[in-house]
Amino acid sequence: MTSNTPQRINVGLIGGGFMGKAHSLSYAAMPMFFWPAPALPHRKTIAELNIDVAREAAVRYGFDEGVSDWRRIIEDPDIQVVDIATPNDSHAEIAIAAAEAGKHILCEKPLATSSEEARRMLEAVQKAGVVHMVAFNYRRTPAIALARRLIEEGRVGKVLNFRGTYLQDWSADPSGPLSWRFQKKIAGSGTLGDIATHVVDIARYLVGDISHVNAMMQHYITERPLQSGGADKLGASEKNADAPMGAVDVDDEVMTLLRFDGGAVGSIEATRNGWGRNNYITFEIHGTEGSISFNYERRDELKVFFNSDPGDVRGFRTIYTGPAHPNGGALWPIPALGIGYGETKIIECHDFFQAVVTGGTVSPNFEDGYITALIEDAIVKSSQERREVEVERAGSLVKV
Amino acid sequence: MTSNTPQRINVGLIGGGFMGKAHSLSYAAMPMFFWPAPALPHRKTIAELNIDVAREAAVRYGFDEGVSDWRRIIEDPDIQVVDIATPNDSHAEIAIAAAEAGKHILCEKPLATSSEEARRMLEAVQKAGVVHMVAFNYRRTPAIALARRLIEEGRVGKVLNFRGTYLQDWSADPSGPLSWRFQKKIAGSGTLGDIATHVVDIARYLVGDISHVNAMMQHYITERPLQSGGADKLGASEKNADAPMGAVDVDDEVMTLLRFDGGAVGSIEATRNGWGRNNYITFEIHGTEGSISFNYERRDELKVFFNSDPGDVRGFRTIYTGPAHPNGGALWPIPALGIGYGETKIIECHDFFQAVVTGGTVSPNFEDGYITALIEDAIVKSSQERREVEVERAGSLVKV
Amino acid sequence: MTSNTPQRINVGLIGGGFMGKAHSLSYAAMPMFFWPAPALPHRKTIAELNIDVAREAAVRYGFDEGVSDWRRIIEDPDIQVVDIATPNDSHAEIAIAAAEAGKHILCEKPLATSSEEARRMLEAVQKAGVVHMVAFNYRRTPAIALARRLIEEGRVGKVLNFRGTYLQDWSADPSGPLSWRFQKKIAGSGTLGDIATHVVDIARYLVGDISHVNAMMQHYITERPLQSGGADKLGASEKNADAPMGAVDVDDEVMTLLRFDGGAVGSIEATRNGWGRNNYITFEIHGTEGSISFNYERRDELKVFFNSDPGDVRGFRTIYTGPAHPNGGALWPIPALGIGYGETKIIECHDFFQAVVTGGTVSPNFEDGYITALIEDAIVKSSQERREVEVERAGSLVKV
Amino acid sequence: MTSNTPQRINVGLIGGGFMGKAHSLSYAAMPMFFWPAPALPHRKTIAELNIDVAREAAVRYGFDEGVSDWRRIIEDPDIQVVDIATPNDSHAEIAIAAAEAGKHILCEKPLATSSEEARRMLEAVQKAGVVHMVAFNYRRTPAIALARRLIEEGRVGKVLNFRGTYLQDWSADPSGPLSWRFQKKIAGSGTLGDIATHVVDIARYLVGDISHVNAMMQHYITERPLQSGGADKLGASEKNADAPMGAVDVDDEVMTLLRFDGGAVGSIEATRNGWGRNNYITFEIHGTEGSISFNYERRDELKVFFNSDPGDVRGFRTIYTGPAHPNGGALWPIPALGIGYGETKIIECHDFFQAVVTGGTVSPNFEDGYITALIEDAIVKSSQERREVEVERAGSLVKV
């Protein structure tokens, strides 16, 4: 060990699905990328309902041990960080317990299944004084962070308009199984909470707070085959004509117009029924002095237009993010070597531990998660009443 | 002359600006592309307010003569077709006079400055029994016509969603002159009538009638330098700090959500303040069996996704339109040789004369123009009242 | 007629196929686009072997008359311009006759079926003192003209490298008929003369003269069904299992490395057997201060990179050509409205008549056509000898 | 530990630069992605010349210890795998020592600084009977592996042509420091060995062995500022006008035509002076029944064209790799979530350990590295002699 070895911080991870894998990767890789690292996350305990699954996950993901009861993690005095990567309906209970036990918390998105739950979670972490973060990871894509920097520096002028989409097709096939993501009691909502919230987060990150929404929500597929296993399986993998069917009670598509506090307007469309779109998170921003365009499916790139360029060579620049851009020094030595999903999680992990170690705050946090939940409420209400709806303010609950 | 020489039909063109040029091109070129041609359009008379301008236009655009009074065209018994390519506020007077004189009419878009005007124009042509067309030319882009054919054939299943944009930046610079396009009394509206209506037309062409809208309209630039000449100049060409300013009283941006009669939903965004976008007419359609995507800036291409493709080679196909596609036999011998703006007008010209010669109808016609004006009304009302608005039906006025 | 009416110049067009159509369009449209026009081309006579075909072509393409013997055009004292749009093996005879008759000549590419023919054609026009042009039209694409201007102005520094392609797939299907383009005695060569020469022309236009080549040529399809009609049909349209077969004796693909006089190097690949590529004329140029990239299939766009851009916003700019670019004032009022194949021919027509009227010269002319033929010779020789070959210089034959 | 816990295999890594980081990531992440994993790689020892650097690297990259003498790794009986991530000139000495000690070897590319060195390395591993691999990682990009599968399955027919590029711009700036990559005695060659070999590897992977080359090599920048530190710094970061200069004695650009054993032809261009290109590894393959196109800068995508598609919907399909594609089950649950550079290394790591555990072989191995070195020899010779050169065969040295 060298004298400037970062401190080791023990992590307990709850949930060994797709997100558990992504978070485990980030704990292992964060110091490799960010050096000196704010801390050395140590993978101590992973919890899964089934003890065999938990033990296997511990080997696979490099944890010291696997446990079947997540409360073992809460009760472990050697664990400083609790990572919640479970289905949405368990976030509140776990997070509140973790906060009361004084743990710092990284929670997957959406924060909760309702704004009421989200508010209680926020109150708990504020009362406990712990570091809290909600894992809207996409804003950590270097190209999106670059967009934020350019906007902050005024390089595209005042923002007039934001158009965002999140289009997927993994639920377009009616034969896809009825996973928890299609059940309101577990997921809280469908496309809205699952993916539209990522774009809401990006919109708030880039343009600021949203004051009004004006939305339509659609429900295309009303029943799906019951799933045999409990896995978090995406897409249509099991086609069994005889499988009993269960009701889908969440939305498939949401479209909303937006008004931002600063006067800008915008729109968001999210669907999981858009054939041919995989992880199509896009936005386009028009400012008074330029424009910015992004598509996560080509996430190494940010397209930027400056009206100040000479008239004969003016056009969107396709910028490949690299060492010259946010977090670029930590990632790969040249642009286009390849930003993957993992990198967004590695940067998220870094920023979280930076806050843990310095006692600071990090965004997006439970406040952001709560505000996003209030925006979700307004979208649902607007869709039902077919009119523009003002977003309820988080108000005094939130201390920034 | 050979025995199967098409009949010659005399045309009178009113307006020698950008659109006059495009239409003149189409008259000369139509038989070169479509053969046997339904008719040989003969460029007989062109009208411009100034007689010198009119005479010069006649030479330039290949007309027999130039006149300064458009009524000379209406009164000419040898002219069968009147082409209206003037600013919007004169469309109604000219069209009604032409109809009363028994002329077939091709009118530039938007049809009128209000739905009331549009209704009177429709009544006039219906009463006169003449062929009428409104020049929403973009639906004649071969790639868009291909999209229509694929939808009609059910190859992407039932349409769920339509997302359209028309983004330009030629009015993003506040120093651009106050052309007629920024004056409500001449143009009727701003971005809404000028370009959003093109996307409304495409949406109706591809998905069907629109029953409800839910819109926001924005006004970014409130005054502009008064223009010296009367030319239809786009963009910022004259920067004169001392130029007196005039008020802009039309919209710069319009966004609307849509409900279609068939159950599909959608959205349209149109702006002339989107830096870096030039003629960015795009749409994406999600169906139950596939998707279609289009961008006019790359107009030779249509992107289509079929869910029935084998799972390992499934992806949007980039189809370059050519001989295998609508009107392809008439255009160029291989795909990607190059579809330009002119081709959309040449096809429009063909379809119009086909109707003239056969005594049939053609779309989009004044009925479509009137319906589009009713949709414009609903968009304005929705924007003012901040709620969803039902589109008024054309009703018994329209006989299909 | 106004006082500044351009002079009328009579044109005789030989050949009513695809190229005859494109040239006819350019004669009609040139003054509509370029105004004041250098001249008003008048379509006087069109020649086709069959008199009925000729007469029908006259009606279709707007000529005063159709004739079956091209010598009627040569002998007509009222015709000042002869346009040669016939298969390659007749270019020399017609052009030499036209030159001797004192006609200005626009000849389709490639100039001839051999460098020897090309040399005699060049000698003839030089001796006659007429204006001569060879129709390598693609260099008139506004985006390519912009590339030339940027290079000339030094904005990408000294050129290091050029990589060009011309990929098509219309001859990839072995069932496509044995058109004249597959017969050496008519076409002179296959892909080499038909399409590779376009890229050679672009390379010379942008980077300068070529001193050495190092080539491979491939021959994939050795026989094809004999064609019933004589039409210039591209692609596979007639599949008749019983059709008698004829030998293909031209190349299908050519690849060559290049050395330019100025020290730059490069490569060209051309094929008509590249499935999925339609009119895929591309180039990429690396200079000491930037790069340029182009793809004709998206011909409204030029992509340019400047190393002098700030490090955080450096990337290829996608420039849509419009009024700010070469010939932009004559074309359409905003970028991306749509440059088609016709526009390249209209600009070509303008530049040719400019030279006719002013008594100047125009490029590319028969000298360029001859030099290109010498480069073709070197490519064939290099391919046969499997070594680098120096290009023979046009030498004293050429007076610039 | 569960009963099916994979065996632990100890790794010694030599070199803590960019490649050391990438390999460390792969050791940590491989079992997270591939489960059940063939083995659990244990990061035991990392070697760097400076002991403080080595110890810090051990903490950062998760190794048990850091050492300053790589021979400590060779001599450690508990280490089964030696990973060579040092500059090229030390590969041979280390690899031969590791082979003699019976270690399995993963060696960075290019295998050596000369074919002679490569041959000796191959002899050593063959004699020792150890598993050996050379880290041409790009062929493990899922989209490239999919290309291989489609070709093997005959889905694009017989391959006619391959065109590959590897374009970068990090050495285009003459003020970039004289890193080891610009020094022949350390690197062996410049662009040729550094990046062109990656495309040679891809070409061999997809199309087969190369029999002849016909090349040009260019040398643009002849001297660079001497570098203060020894870091593997890419690009122009230190601009010091007073810095003493050192000679660059390697190539900047290489272009070559190719003949493959199976009759296909092709070309490769590689440069590190192509402004605006970052990691632009591209290829296009034309087959008798279809085409394939790839660009690593958009590495989630493979573009494939099938001539058997119906004529009206035929076009390149943009396939986003995911669970349906090679190694897709191990990576991320939906396409376009994001394949990064790390994933190519994680798959490489998996395949290597699979061979280690099963006693099998893996490609590309030292034989491939040696054959690539022979191709490099032929390229240099061809460039010098300006003629096509036959590639020397590995011959009896190679036992497959």
pLDDT tens track for C60-102: 999 999 999 999 999 999 999 999 999 999 999 999 999 999 9
CA distance A279 to chain D (A): 5
Q: Flag if A314 and C315 touch (Cβ within 8 Å).
A: no
> Phi/psi zone of residue B365: left (φ > 0), alpha (ψ -120 to 50 degrees), beta?
beta
A32, A60, A170 member nearest D25 (Cβ): A32
**What's the confidence (pLDDT) of residue B228?**
66
Residue A291 has pLDDT above 70, yes or no: yes
B301, B313, B320 member nearest D317 (Cβ): B313
Instruction: Give rounded-to-5 percent helix, strand, coil for chain A.
Output: 35, 25, 40
Q: Flag if C309 and A320 touch (Cβ within 8 Å).
A: no
Number of Cβ atoms within 10 Å of the Cβ of D385 = 12
**What's the confidence (pLDDT) of residue C242?**
74
CA distance A8 to chain B (A): 44
**What's the confidence (pLDDT) of residue D392?**
97
Residue A194 has pLDDT above 50, yes or no: yes
Q: Flag if B322 and C278 touch (Cβ within 8 Å).
A: yes
Q: Please give the C-alpha separations between residue D383 and each of D219, D255, D380, in angstroms, as whole numbers.
A: 12, 9, 5
**What's the confidence (pLDDT) of residue D240?**
58
Residue A308 has pLDDT above 80, yes or no: yes
**What's the confidence (pLDDT) of residue D242?**
74
Q: Which of the residues A210, A255, A275, A314 would you substitute to probe the B interface, choosing the one with the greatest number of B C-beta atoms within 10 Å?
A: A275
Number of Cβ atoms within 10 Å of the Cβ of C25 = 26
The DSSP letter of residue A263 is S
**What's the confidence (pLDDT) of residue C236?**
47
pLDDT tens track for B242-297: 789 999 999 999 999 999 999 999 999 999 999 999 999 999 999 999 999 999 99
**What's the confidence (pLDDT) of residue B166?**
98
**What's the confidence (pLDDT) of residue A238?**
47
For chain A, list the contacting chains (3+ Cβ pairs, <8 Å). B, C, D
- Tell me the residue type at B179: S
Closest chain C residue to A320, measured at CA: C315
Chain B with chain D: Cβ pairs closer than 8 A: 52
Contacts of B285 (CB under 8 A, 6+ apart): B147, B151, B156, B159, B161, B162, B163, B206, B207, B291, B292, B293
pLDDT tens track for C142-201: 999 999 999 999 999 999 999 999 999 999 999 999 999 999 999 999 999 999 999 999
The DSSP letter of residue A324 is T
Residue C315 has pLDDT above 90, yes or no: yes
What is the rounded average pLDDT of the residues A82-93?
A: 97
**What's the confidence (pLDDT) of residue D400?**
41
Interface of C with D (CB under 8 A): 156, 160-161, 163, 165, 167, 169, 172-173, 214-216, 218, 220, 253, 255, 257, 259, 265, 267, 269, 271, 273-277, 284, 286-291, 293, 305, 307, 314-316, 386-388
**What's the confidence (pLDDT) of residue D241?**
61
The complex's ipTM? 0.95
Q: Are C175 and D288 in contact (CB under 8 A)?
A: no
Tell me if residue D119 falls in helix, strand or coil. Answer: helix
Q: DSSP assignment of B77-146, as one string?
A: TT--EEEE-S-GGGHHHHHHHHHHTT-EEEEPSSS-SSHHHHHHHHHHHHHHT--EEE--GGGGSHHHHH
Q: H or E stretch including A380?
A: helix A366-385
Tokens standing for residue C185: 């005695």
State the SS3 of chain C: CCCCCCCEEEEEEECCCHHHHHHHHHHHHHHHHCCCCCCEEEEEEEECCCHHHHHHHHHHHCCCEEECCCHHHHHCCCCCEEEECCCHHHHHHHHHHHHHCCCEEEECCCCCCCHHHHHHHHHHHHHHCCCEEECCHHHHCHHHHHHHHHHHCCCCCCEEEEEEEEECCCCCCCCCCCCHHHCHHHHCCCHHHHHHHHHHHHHHHHHCCEEEEEEEEECCCCEEECCCCCCCCCCCCCCCCCCCEEECCCCCEEEEEEEECCCCEEEEEEECCCCCCCCEEEEEEEECCEEEEEEHHHCCEEEEEECCCCHHHCCEEEEECCCCCCCHHHCCCCCCCCCCHHHHHHHHHHHHHHHHHHCCCCCCCHHHHHHHHHHHHHHHHHHHHCECEECCCCHHHCCC
Q: Which of the residues C297, C303, C317, C348 would you substitute to probe the B interface, choosing the one with the greatest number of B C-beta atoms within 10 Å?
A: C297
Please report, in tens digits, the pLDDT of each residue of chain B (400 residues total): 455 799 999 999 999 999 999 999 999 999 999 999 999 999 999 999 999 999 999 999 999 999 999 999 999 999 999 999 999 999 999 999 999 999 999 999 999 999 999 999 999 999 999 999 999 999 999 999 999 999 999 999 999 999 999 999 999 999 999 999 999 999 999 999 999 999 999 999 999 999 999 999 999 999 999 976 544 545 444 455 678 999 999 999 999 999 999 999 999 999 999 999 999 999 999 999 999 999 999 999 999 999 999 999 999 999 999 999 999 999 999 999 999 999 999 999 999 999 999 999 999 999 999 999 999 999 999 999 999 999 999 875 554 4
**What's the confidence (pLDDT) of residue A400?**
42
Q: Flag if D341 and A342 touch (Cβ within 8 Å).
A: no
> Phi/psi zone of residue B235: left (φ > 0), alpha (ψ -120 to 50 degrees), beta?
left
Q: Flag if C319 and A311 touch (Cβ within 8 Å).
A: no
Closest chain D residue to C213, measured at CA: D386
Pairing mode, strands C8-14 and C81-84: parallel
Burial class of residue D126 (count of CB atoms within 10 Å of its CB; 0-12, 13-18, 19+): middle
Q: Flag if D318 and B319 touch (Cβ within 8 Å).
A: no
d(CA A180, CA C385): 69
Please report, in tens digits, the pLDDT of each residue of chain D (400 residues total): 455 799 999 999 999 999 999 999 999 999 999 999 999 999 999 999 999 999 999 999 999 999 999 999 999 999 999 999 999 999 999 999 999 999 999 999 999 999 999 999 999 999 999 999 999 999 999 999 999 999 999 999 999 999 999 999 999 999 999 999 999 999 999 999 999 999 999 999 999 999 999 999 999 999 999 976 544 545 444 455 678 999 999 999 999 999 999 999 999 999 999 999 999 999 999 999 999 999 999 999 999 999 999 999 999 999 999 999 999 999 999 999 999 999 999 999 999 999 999 999 999 999 999 999 999 999 999 999 999 999 999 875 554 4
Burial class of residue D97 (count of CB atoms within 10 Å of its CB; 0-12, 13-18, 19+): middle
C149, C309, C318 member nearest A316 (Cβ): C318
Chain A with chain B: Cβ pairs closer than 8 A: 116
Residues in D touching B301 (Cβ below 8 Å): 315
Residue A231: band (very low, low, confident or very high) from pLDDT cuts 50, 70, 90: very low
The DSSP letter of residue A374 is H
A5, A278, A300 member nearest D334 (Cβ): A278
How wide is the angle at C-alpha A197 spanned by C-alphas A194 and A199, nearest 5°? 120
**What's the confidence (pLDDT) of residue C1?**
46
Residue A395: band (very low, low, confident or very high) from pLDDT cuts 50, 70, 90: confident
A172, A259, A386 member nearest B388 (Cβ): A386
Tell me if residue D355 falls in helix, strand or coil. Answer: helix
Residue A397: band (very low, low, confident or very high) from pLDDT cuts 50, 70, 90: low
B24, B334, B344 member nearest C168 (Cβ): B334
CA distance A133 to chain D (A): 21
Contacts of C22 (CB under 8 A, 6+ apart): C341, C342, C345
Contacts of B152 (CB under 8 A, 6+ apart): none
Closest chain D residue to C272, measured at CA: D286
A62, A334, A344 member nearest D279 (Cβ): A334
B155, B312, B319 member nearest D315 (Cβ): B319
Q: Are A142 and A325 in contact (CB under 8 A)?
A: yes
pLDDT tens track for B200-213: 999 999 999 999 99
- Identify the CA nearest to C34 among candidates C362, C353, C299: C353
**What's the confidence (pLDDT) of residue D228?**
66
Query: How many Å separate Cα A155 from the centre of its chain?
Result: 27
Q: Flag if B336 and C280 touch (Cβ within 8 Å).
A: yes
**What's the confidence (pLDDT) of residue A236?**
46
Residue C395: band (very low, low, confident or very high) from pLDDT cuts 50, 70, 90: confident
Tokens standing for residue C363: 């490029």
**What's the confidence (pLDDT) of residue D303?**
98
Write down the number of H helices and E strands in chain A: 11, 17
Q: Which of the residues C13, C51, C52, C60 would you substitute to probe the B interface, choosing the one with the greatest number of B C-beta atoms within 10 Å?
A: C60
**What's the confidence (pLDDT) of residue C339?**
95
